[in-house]
Structure 1
Amino acid sequence: MARTSVRPVIAPQLSFDELGTPLPEVTFVVVDLETTGGSHERDGITEVGAVKVRGGERLGELGTLVDPGRGVPPNVVALTGITTAMVSRAPRLESVLPSVLEFLSGAVFVAHNAPFDAGFLRSACERHGMVWPRPPVLCTARLARAALTRDELRSVSLGSLSRYFGTRTQPNHRALSDARATVEVLHHLLERIGNLGVQSLEELLALTREASAHRPTQRQRRQRHLAESVPSAPGVYLFRGPREEVLYVGTSGDLRRRVRNYFTAGEKRRRIRDMVALAERVDTVVCAHALEAGVRELRLLAAHKPKYNRRSRNPGRVWWVAATEEAFPRLSVVAAPKEGALGPFPSQKAATAAVDTLLDAVPLRRCTQRIPARSPSGTPCMVSELGRCGAPCAGFQSREEYAPLVGRWRDLVAGRRDHELSSLVSAVDELAARERFEEAAGDRDRLVGLIGALERRQTLAELAAQPEVVGARPDGRGGWELAVIRYGRLAAADVARRGVRPMPVVEAMRASAQTVLPGDGPLAGAPPEEVRLLYRWLTTGGTRLVYCDSWAEPAFGAARWAGWAARAREGTAAGRAALEALVR
C-alpha cells in the first residue's frame, strides 16, 4: 500500500487517556497499621502511621496510637512493644479515622501488603458509618515482585527490601517508622520500574496487579533494552530471532508501551516468555492508524508464519462451496476461491454443513459420479425416490431441465433471489408447529449458519468488486483517519489531524495509492481476513464514505434474513441456559 501526506510527518499526539498520570505528579500516602491480630473483623487497630509524598518530596506525616477497646495480646506486645497501658490513654478509632481519611484524600493508598492495611481501614469505615473513599491501592510487596528477580532478592518482606536498598529508616514494627521505611523502598522501586519505561500511574497499577502471580525472568530483564528504540506511535512490531527469522508479530496503538510490557511481570504467557528469551531484535512499522496496522499485521503473518503467533498456524486457510465444471454440476467443498463460490468458511466441516442445508432447498444432485452429457445410464438412488433429486444419472432429467437449478444456486449466492431461504425458514417453523422440536432446532442452527455464510459472502464480495472506496473515520481528537481501498485491499492510509483540511490529504492519497488489479474468485483475489477487516472499519465507528462508485448490497441478499437469524441465535442461547439450569 502507498502512503502520502501534504504536511510534515509528526509523531501522533497521545490523548490524556493514553498518556496517563505522570508519576512525578502523583501524590502517594504510605500507610502502616499495627493491630491486635490479623482479622479486620475481629481485631482492632493499635497504631496508625502515614507519610504523604509527591515527586520524591515528603509533604506531611500522621502518627498516633489508637485505643482498640480491648487488651493487646502478649505476642503482639512482644512484636511491637505496644502495651495495653500505652493504648488505654490513646484516642478511639472513631475519632482518629476522620483525620486519616482527610490525609488520604486525593492520593494513592500505598502499603506493604496493602490488602491487609486497606482491609482494616475499610472495615473500620463500615463499622463507624463513614464512607471509604476507594482510593487507588498500590502494594509495595507486589511492586517488588514485578521490579526484582528472584536472583536479586528471594524475599520481598519490608525488612528484606530495606536491607537490600540500604534505607536510612529500618522497620521496627511501629507504624510511623515502618511507613517511613516503606516510603524509601517505594522510591527505590519506582527508579527500577522507570528503567522499564513505566512512566504513569496507570502503568504502575497495571504492573502490580499482574505481578501477584508471576515474576519476570532474568532473561526477560536482560532483553528489555530491545524496547529502547521503539517509537511511541501506532503500528506493527516484529520480534526477530538469532537467524533474523520473525518470531512474533503484533499491533498496538502505542508500540513503545506495548513492547515494554513483554519484559515485565505483566507478560504471563509461557510461550511468549520463551519467545522473548529467543529474540535478538524488535523491528517496527509505524502506521497512520489502527486499520493500517491491522492490515499490515495480516500480511506479515501470511508472509512469515511466525512460530509464536497462534493466528499464523494456518494463515488464510479457508474453505469455499463451488459448483463443479461438468455437464450436471454438483456442489463441492474446495480450498480455492472459484468464481461464484460461497464462502469463506473457517473449516471444512462448516462448509459441508452449508452444502447439506443448501441441497434441502436447491435439489442439485448429491452424488459424486461424473455423468456424461449424453445417454446417461445410471441407476436412480434413494435420494431420487425421496424426491430430492431429478436423477440425471439415469437420464430422467436432461441438461436443459437441470440447468435452472444451477442458476437458482448462483442467484442465491449472489443475492439475486432468496426464495430458498424463505422455504427453509418455513420448513423450520412447520417442524416446530408439529412439536418436532429437536429436529427443528437442528435445522434452525444449520440455517442460521447458512444465512451467516451467505451474508458474509455477499457483503465482502460487493466491497471487493469496488475499484475504489475512500473512507474517513473521526479519530476522537478533532481529526480524521483516512483510507483508500481498491478491490478489497488497503491501497493507502493517512491521517488529517485537527486543523488540517482533509480533502487535500485525500486527493494526495488517491494520486499515490497502490495500484491494485482484480484477481479471480468472489473476492477478486483479496485475502478474506483483509476484506473483512476493511468492511468492519467502513461500516462501524462513524466512518464516512468520501468516494465510492456503486457500492451497494444485493436487494435479495441474506441480510434480509439477518433479523430472523439473530432471533434464532437468541433462542438457541436461551434454550441452552434453560437446559444448564435444569442440569444444575
Structure 2
Amino acid sequence: MTNSGITVFGRPNGTKAMQHEAPSELDVLGFPRDYVTLDLETTGFYPNRCAITEIGAVRVRDGRIVEQFQELVNPLRPIPRQITALTGINDAMVANLDPIDDVLPRFINWLAADSQRESIAEPIVGHNVSFDLRFLDYNTRHIAGSPFACMDYDTMQISRVLFPEFKHHRLADLIVRFGIADNEEHRALSDAIQTQECLEWMHQYTAEHCEASTIDWRTVPAKTSAEILHQQLVLR
C-alpha cells in the first residue's frame, strides 16, 4: 500500500472533494444502505497521548454484514489497569503484535478493497463516532501525512433525535432498549456489529413511525477536521 495515496478513504488522490458528493446508496429516508461500521479500543481518551489497541469493523451491503475486519494493536506502552478491566485487553495479548504504523495501512486497504465502488465513498457508521474518527485522523496524519476523510453517521446522535425522552444513549443502553443484547462487550468487532444492528433497528423504526417528509439530514464538518463530515438526523 502507498500510504500517501489515500486522502479520502476508498478513493485515490485527485478525485472530487467529498463535500460535493452524496453518500452512496441512500434509501428514501436518507439512511445509508452500504456502509462500514467501525469501533476502536484505545488506552485512553486523547489521540495525542493515548494509543489504539484494537480496530473492529464490518462492511455492510443493503443493510447486511458481508465482511469483517478485526486486529489487536500493540500500543507500545502499558495498557492502563482500568482499560484492561473494561475491555479484557492486556499487555501480554498485544506484546508481540504489530503497532498502529503497520495495522492502520492494512485497515485502510481493507476499507478501499471493494474495487467496484472505488469512485464512491462509503460512509462510516459508529456510536459516538467522533471519538473513533479523531484517533483515526490523528494516526493517519502521523503515518501517511494526510487526513482521514470520510462522511459518517453517528448512532448516538440518531438515537438522541428519535428518542429525546430517554436520558442515556450509550451503546449499552441502546442494545438493551432495542432487544439486541444484554451486555456491551467493549471489544471492537462485537461493538461494531452491535452498532450496525442499532442503526438498522432505528432505520426500521423510522420507516414505521415517521413520515418521509419529516426527515432531513444536515452535513456538519467535524470540529477537529474539515475532511470529516457528520451526517446528522433532523426531524421537522
TM exceeding 0.5: yes
* Cα deviation 1:305-333 (Å, max 9, x = unaligned): xxxxxxxxxxxxxxxxxxxxxxxxxxxxx
Residue in 1 that maps onto 2:26? 22
Contact 1:169 1:177 in 2 (8 A): no
Contact 2:56 2:189 in 1 (8 A): yes
- 1:59: Cα distance to partner? 1.5
- 1:42: Cα distance to partner? 0.6
| Cα distance change, pair 89–171 in 1 and its aligned pair in 2 (3 A) | same
Say if 2:183 is the partner of 1:167. no
Unaligned runs of 5+ in 1: 1-16, 212-260, 268-584
Matches of residues 391-410 of structure 1 in structure 2 within 5 Å?
none
**Residue from 139, 162, 169 that aligns with 1:124:** 139
* Cα deviation 1:385-426 (Å, max 9, x = unaligned): xxxxxxxxxxxxxxxxxxxxxxxxxxxxxxxxxxxxxxxxxx
| Cα distance change, pair 130–166 in 1 and its aligned pair in 2 (3 A) | farther
Following the alignment from structure 2 to structure 1, what is the Cα–Cα distance between the partners of residues 184 and 153? Answer: 19
If asked which structure has higher relative contact order (CA below 8 Å, sep 6+), I would say 2
Matches of residues 536-547 of structure 1 in structure 2 within 5 Å?
none
Say if 2:77 is the partner of 1:70. yes
Contact 2:33 2:63 in 1 (8 A): no
Say if 2:44 is the partner of 1:37. yes
User: What amino acid is the match of 2:210?
Assistant: L
* Cα deviation 1:51-84 (Å, max 9, x = unaligned): 1112121110000100011110111111111111
- 1:205: Cα distance to partner? 5.1
Following the alignment from structure 2 to structure 1, what is the Cα–Cα distance between the partners of residues 169 and 32? Answer: 27
Matches of residues 140-539 of structure 1 in structure 2 within 5 Å?
140-150=155-165, 153-168=166-181, 170-194=183-207, 195-198=209-212, 203-204=216-217, 206=219, 264=235, 267=236
CA RMSD of aligned residues (A): 2.7
Contact 1:26 1:107 in 2 (8 A): no
Contact 1:32 1:175 in 2 (8 A): yes
- 1:188: Cα distance to partner? 0.7
Greater strand proportion = 2
- 1:26: Cα distance to partner? 3.6
| Cα distance change, pair 29–198 in 1 and its aligned pair in 2 (3 A) | farther
* Cα deviation 1:205-233 (Å, max 9, x = unaligned): 5597666xxxxxxxxxxxxxxxxxxxxxx
Contact 2:137 2:147 in 1 (8 A): yes
| 2:195 alignment partner, SS class | helix
Following the alignment from structure 1 to structure 2, what is the Cα–Cα distance between the partners of residues 56 and 21? Answer: 10
Following the alignment from structure 2 to structure 1, what is the Cα–Cα distance between the partners of residues 50 and 128? Answer: 17
| Cα distance change, pair 99–170 in 1 and its aligned pair in 2 (3 A) | farther
Query: Identity of aligned pairs, percent?
Result: 30
Contact 1:170 1:181 in 2 (8 A): no
Q: TM-score, normalised by structure 2?
A: 0.73
Following the alignment from structure 1 to structure 2, what is the Cα–Cα distance between the partners of residues 121 and 127? Answer: 10
Greater helix proportion = 1
Contact 1:68 1:93 in 2 (8 A): yes
Unaligned runs of 5+ in 2: 1-20, 113-120, 221-229
* Cα deviation 1:426-451 (Å, max 9, x = unaligned): xxxxxxxxxxxxxxxxxxxxxxxxxx
| 2:45 alignment partner, SS class | coil
Following the alignment from structure 2 to structure 1, what is the Cα–Cα distance between the partners of residues 218 and 91? Answer: 38
- 1:102: Cα distance to partner? 2.7
Matches of residues 71-86 of structure 1 in structure 2 within 5 Å?
71-86=78-93
Following the alignment from structure 1 to structure 2, what is the Cα–Cα distance between the partners of residues 169 and 62? Answer: 24
* Cα deviation 1:525-556 (Å, max 9, x = unaligned): xxxxxxxxxxxxxxxxxxxxxxxxxxxxxxxx
- 1:22: Cα distance to partner? 2.5
Contact 2:25 2:34 in 1 (8 A): no
Q: TM-score, normalised by structure 1?
A: 0.31
Higher CA-based Rg? 1
* Cα deviation 1:467-525 (Å, max 9, x = unaligned): xxxxxxxxxxxxxxxxxxxxxxxxxxxxxxxxxxxxxxxxxxxxxxxxxxxxxxxxxxx
Following the alignment from structure 2 to structure 1, what is the Cα–Cα distance between the partners of residues 34 and 147? Answer: 18
**Residue from 129, 150, 166 that aligns with 1:114:** 129
- 1:100: Cα distance to partner? 1.6
| 1:172 alignment partner, SS class | coil
Following the alignment from structure 2 to structure 1, what is the Cα–Cα distance between the partners of residues 44 and 164? Answer: 31
Say if 2:56 is the partner of 1:49. yes
| 1:128 alignment partner, SS class | helix
Residue in 1 that maps onto 2:105? 98
